[in-house]
Amino acid sequence: MGKYDELPEPIRLEDTVAESDTRDVPDPEAGRDTDRDWLVRYGLGGLF
């Protein structure tokens, strides 16, 4: 009999624990105005 011939015992739903991450998600823009940054970098960059 090989190592992977049998499946392990199934886990009962009663034995599981529902968890959710309650930590605050960090601001992906780090407080910056990314629209303004993009405009300055690419939109207004050709004018000066």
Question: 1-48, pLDDT tens digit by residue?
Answer: 677 888 889 999 888 887 887 788 888 888 899 898 888 888 876 665
Q: Which residues contact 1 (CB under 8 A, 6 or more apart)?
A: none
- pTM for the whole thing? 0.38
pLDDT at 45: 61
Length of the chain: 48
Q: What stretches of the chain show up as alpha helix (H) in DSSP?
A: 34-38
